Amino acid sequence: MYQKDQKVFYVTGASKGFGLSLTNQLLERGFNVAATSRTKEQLIKAVNSKLITEENFIALQVDLTSDESVKKSIEHTISKFSRIDVIINNAGYVQCGTIEELSDKEVRDNYECNLFGVISVIRHAIPYLRKNKFFANGPRIINISSIAGYSGASPAFSIYSSTKFALEGLTEGLNADLKEFGIHVSSVKPGYFRTSFFEKGSVSIPLNPINEYTAVRQVQDLHANQINGNQAGDPEKGSKVIIDHALSENPTVHLFLGPDSIKYAYLKIESIQNDIKLNNEAASSTDFTN
What angle (nearest 5°) sits at the alpha carbon of residue 102, between those of residues 100 and 108? 125
C-alpha of 247 from chain center: 17
The answer to whether residues 171 and 145 touch, using CB atoms and an 8 Å cutoff, is yes
Residues 150 and 268: their CA atoms lie apart, in Å, by 8
Q: Return the amino acid letter for 215.
A: A
Locate the DSSP E strands across the chain: 8-11, 32-37, 57-61, 86-89, 94-95, 140-144, 184-190, 203-204, 254-257
SS3 string of 51-74? HCCCCCEEEEECCCCCHHHHHHHH
Q: Catalytic: which of 10, 128, 160, 264? A: 160
Q: Is 109 helix (H, G, I), strand (E, B) or coil?
A: helix
Q: Is 157 helix (H, G, I), strand (E, B) or coil?
A: coil
| Sequence-separated (6 or more) residues with CB below 8 Å from residue 87 | 9, 10, 121, 122, 125, 129, 139, 140, 141, 142
Q: How many CB atoms lie within 10 A of CB 184?
A: 23
Our answer to whether residue 160 is catalytic in this structure is yes
Maximum C-alpha span of the chain = 69
Closest to 87 (Cα-Cα) out of 10, 145, 34: 10
Catalytic residue list: 160
